[in-house]
Structure 1
Amino acid sequence: MLFKKIIEPLKDNLEQHGIKEPNQLQKAILSKIKGGGSLFVIAPEGSGKTTSIVISVINKLKAAFEDAPRALIFVKDKQTALDLAALFNNFARGTDLRIYCAYDEHNIELQREELYLGTDIVIATPKRLNKIFYLNGINLNKLQMCIVEDAEFLFRNNNFAEVTRTPESIGKCQYLVFSDAFDARFERWQDSFMYNAQIVKLN
């Protein structure tokens, strides 16, 4: 099964990286994500979770639009943010999508100024995202997708509480949580902003 209904630049970039058809995980989730559903995606390391995030976000957003971000991706640290941004830049070639990283080691005032210039995709550590938000440094009113990559990090350093605060500040949004295992603490999200989310498991 070849990739269907994805924008041409993304399709070309995937083929240049030797990716001509979706793997098992992508066959299970890409159409669900494209349809706008919220998901808990539970799959082992190496199954293609991160690539699935990149494909889904690029294909949904397609092109730059206005200044406020439309996709927010939570990651555990600076290096993960930079690595994910590099992957996005590889697969977004031929589009004008703007990707921005917000992490704790960077000057927060400079981050506010850079975000003000406009971006489509924000890759952020939870604590820094919330600090910027409470300083009125980011507009979350246009968010379409809120994603957690490799969610195991949430249960360290109060990150779970930090991420839980974000949906309180935004309207209707698609939520996608990618994890190696389903943690019982996710049930709190099922009782609130992810009450209608599907759980997709890949053994």
Structure 2
Amino acid sequence: MKNTFEELKIAKSILKSLDDIGFKVPTPIQQKAIPKINSGGNLVGIAQTGTGKTAAYLLPLLTRLQKPEGNDPRVVILVPTRELAIQVGEDIAELTTYSELRHAAVFGGIGWTKHAELVEPGIDIIVATPGRLWDLYQEGVLRLKKVKHLVIDEADRMLDMGFMPQLKQLQEIIPARRQNLLFSATFSPAIEKLAEEFLDFYDKLEVAPSATTVSQVTQTAYKVPNYRTKLNLIRYLLEDEEKFTRVVIFVKTKEHAEGVFKVIQRKAEGEKRILHSNKAQNTRINAIQAFKSGDVRILITTDVSARGMDVSMVSHVINFDLPRDYDDYVHRIGRTARAGNKGDAITLIDPADEWHWKNILKLIRKDIELLPLPEEVEVLETEFGENQDQLREIDRQRKIDDPTFQGAFHQKKRKGSNKRSFDDKFSRSKERQKRKKRRKL
């Protein structure tokens, strides 16, 4: 096993940048992946976020490119979100401080002409979301005939977001003779199918079992009866400013994001920001940058908006809502305990979440400590509407486990299902009317 970047044969200009950044020792994924990438073969790397997987493919690729050449990119890195595109672009900028290699990060949400200006002078590496790469190709401002290396990063999220058609389109226009590198936090059947479609022969590298959580994260959970009590618990926890120094709160909807924000806006110290799909792109990017710099203490976000957020000093991740895609739990808590630091992940579980929580524990193969609610947290009564929603969800879960289960909300048979037909009732009614007439006569 190679224990230094020098032993991994990283270019001297890149080594100098690593020294400036303060990266001294390669992570396990880097130790295992870099020699395989250097060999030129195809690779599927399974690693959680926060393990150094981005540098695991960037370091050998930057080394192999050596210097600028021509105008067309030789490396294409596909990512699922604009935030991740920006992050990988920043990583490349840091690593190429002493190199003349040219790069650009392009993504949707802004006019393609701005990105056309970035690529027209010539680039060696392009980081892109699939849709924006296709835009630039279709407009004729980007040629892909010189591509030698294709990276698909966060492939599991790529599939979750429905990018498979775009990936297939791009496969048709990128030269067949290329090195393919696919990275994912999990190796689901869908990822295996994607690998088989894009990579004829490949080595699979798994630094930890699929869906394993980062070991430096301390995971705990609370059982909480309802939404309003969750808000009370969040407010109580965030009062401890010394412990909860930089916090990411995950919610399932923008409505919950706004609700959490309103509750902690005045009660919790420090700047707070929200990330969700209704927020403009610049607002989201600025919020992440402010969070990274430490100007923002609390970030409230949905899963999609948080992808690509690389912040090394997150003290806590709080799952206000459980994700319905269980792999997202692994991604979420990977926002803390990055770059060798420690962190805490706290999950709030309401009655409708308990079934999902058991499935998450099966996935990550861990038991997580359930903590009692602090005495200072006011436990409120569950409102009627929320209670009905919880019961319906619990019914749905039980039906999945037992298809014969009827439940409280199953469609009941109408009373009197054995009643006479309409024709029968009509004829009897006419008989009654005739009898009445005879009596009157």
Under TM normalisation by the shorter chain, which class is it? over 0.9
- Greater CA drift, 101-110 or 30-39: 101-110
In the TM superposition, what is the alpha-carbon distance from 1:75 to its structure 2 partner?
A: 1.3
Which region of structure 1 is more displaced relative to structure 2, 165-174 or 66-75?
165-174
Q: AA paired with 2:66?
A: K
The answer as to 2:183 corresponding to 1:183 is no
Give the letter for the 1:177 counterpart. L
Equivalence map 1:121-160=2 (5 Å) = 121-160=125-164
Structure 2: tracts of 5 or more residues without a match: 209-441
Percent identity between the aligned chains?
24
- SS of the equivalent of 2:151 reads strand
Amino acid in the other structure paired with 1:181: T
User: Are 2:7 and 1:2 equivalent residues in the alignment?
Assistant: no
TM-score (norm 1): 0.92
Question: Aligned-pair distance for 1:30?
Answer: 0.3
Contact 2:16 2:98 in 1 (8 A): no
Q: Please name the residue that 1:65 is paired with.
A: 69
Q: Answer whether contact 1:149 1:177 (CA < 8 A) is retained.
A: yes
AA in 2 matched with 1:144? K
* DSSP-derived class of the 1:16 partner: helix
- TM-superposed CA distance for 1:53, in Å, is 2.3
Q: CA deviation at 1:74?
A: 0.9
Distance in 2, matches of 1:183 and 1:130, equals 27
Aligned to 2:94: 90
In 2, the alpha carbon distance for the partners of 1:190 and 1:152 equals: 11
The structural deviation recorded for 1:190 is 4.0
CA deviation string 1:159-194 (max 9, x = no partner): 122122212112211111111111212333444430
Which residue identity lines up with residue 145 of structure 1 in the other structure? H
Q: CA RMSD in A?
A: 1.6
What is the count of residue pairs matched by the alignment? 203
In 1, the alpha carbon distance for the partners of 2:172 and 2:194 equals 12
Judged with a 3 Å threshold, the aligned counterparts in structure 2 of structure 1 residues 2 and 191 are, in CA distance, closer, same or farther, namely closer
- The answer to whether residue 24 in structure 2 is matched with residue 20 in structure 1 is yes
> Is the Cα–Cα contact under 8 Å of residues 153 and 159 in structure 1 kept in the other structure?
no
What amino acid is the match of 2:198?
Answer: F
Deviation of the 1:45 alpha carbon: 2.1
Corresponding position of 2:179: 174
Shift of 1:134: 2.1
Cα deviation for residue 58 of structure 1 reads 1.2
Distance 1:190 1:85, change over 3 A: closer
Larger Rg: 2
In structure 1, the partner of 2:57 is 53
Letter in 2 for 1:156: D
Structure 1: gaps spanning 5 or more residues: none
Corresponding residue SS for 1:76: coil
DSSP-derived class of the 2:201 partner: coil
> In the alignment, is residue 99 of structure 1 matched against residue 103 of structure 2?
yes
Distance 2:141 2:81 in 1: 20
Letter in 2 for 1:123: V
| 135 and 6 in structure 1: CA distance in 2 versus 1, 3 angstrom threshold | same
Instruction: Name the structure 1 match of 2:270.
Output: none
After the TM superposition, which of the residue ranges 188-197 and 80-89 deviates more from structure 2? 188-197
Q: Which residue of 1 aligns with 2:42?
A: 38
CA-to-aligned-CA distance 1:126-160 (integer Å, 9 cap, x gap): 11111221222211111111111222221234212
How many angstroms apart in 1 are the aligned matches of 2:186 and 2:65? 28
Give the secondary structure class of the aligned counterpart of 1:118. coil
Helix, strand or coil at the partner of 1:147: strand
